A and B are shown apart, each in its own frame.
Chain A
Amino acid sequence: DGGITQSPKYLFRKEGQNVTLSCEQNLNHDAMYWYRQDPGQGLRLIYYSQIVNDFQKGDIAEGYSVSREKKESFPLTVTSAQKNPTAFYLCASRIQGMNTEAFFGQGTRLTVV
């Protein structure tokens, strides 16, 4: 079955540590996105990539980094520079250049302890 997979579902991090969230898709989609959701908030775009080896900052990129070395994978690193990392993180993918929907993973809940 084709889909988009985020792992892990729950993640705990100590303050000052970097942590990497995984996002893998087998839908052959060019475009991938990372969003953050806080309680009572909408989905805010962190980074997005429209093609392998290229990515752009979204609206709240500070304290985050990404890579896009393979079409299937778009990992997100939450660095120690991110002041409020506790949130629900969502990854999505879609066909680039066409009017089509984005498909989402099930999300990763990151908690800083």
Chain B
Amino acid sequence: DQQVKQNSPSLSVQEGRISILNCDYTNSMFDYFLWYKKYPAEGPTFLISISSIKDKNEDGRFTVFLNKSAKHLSLHIVPSQPGDSAVYFCAALGTGTASKLTFGTGTRLQVTL
């Protein structure tokens, strides 16, 4: 039962353009969402998060949007840079049955020159 889904395993974007990574969830008990960036053979590093009381959070080039009614969130990276090439994971937390930190399957982003 995959409660957090990232349906696009990979994405290729040109440098300078916008990267949009998507994530869907099924458990309505989730109320806090996070995005992580991961390089091979390293631990994930935290990028940005959003609470369910908001629909947008911005930090520099990174913006996360949350659509609670659709149980969907997205990460926008503008402008994309070659150093952004990595695997991006979304994760979710909540209460009760959602109290464990649950990750999606990841999207590999490649930013080309």
Binding site for B on A (CB under 8 A): 6, 33, 35, 40-45, 48, 50, 56, 58, 88, 90, 92, 94, 99, 101-107, 109
Q: How far is A70 from B100 in the complex, measured between Cα atoms in Å? A: 20
* Extra inter-chain contacts (9) besides given A41-B106, A99-B31, CB under 8 Å: A6-B43, A40-B9, A43-B106, A45-B103, A90-B44, A92-B101, A102-B34, A104-B44, A107-B43
**Inside 8 A of A107's CB, which chain B residues have their CB?**
41-43
Given A99-B93, A101-B49, A45-B101 contact (CB < 8 Å):
yes
Whether a CB of chain A sits under 8 angstroms from the CB of B32 is yes
Q: Is the interface of A mostly helix, strand, loop or mixed?
A: strand
Q: How far is A105 from B45 in the complex, measured between Cα atoms in Å? A: 9
Q: How far is A92 from B44 in the complex, measured between Cα atoms in Å? A: 9
Binding site for A on B (CB under 8 A): 6, 9, 31-32, 34, 36, 41-46, 49, 51, 89, 91, 93, 99-106
Closest residue on chain B to residue A94 by CB atoms: B101
Q: How far is the CB of A4 from chain B (nearest CB, A)?
A: 8
Q: How far is the CB of A86 from chain B (nearest CB, A)?
A: 14
Closest residue on chain B to residue A47 by CB atoms: B100
19 contacts between A and B (CB under 8 A): A33-B101, A35-B103, A41-B105, A41-B106, A42-B89, A42-B105, A43-B44, A43-B106, A48-B100, A58-B100, A99-B93, A101-B49, A102-B34, A102-B101, A103-B46, A104-B44, A104-B45, A105-B43, A106-B42
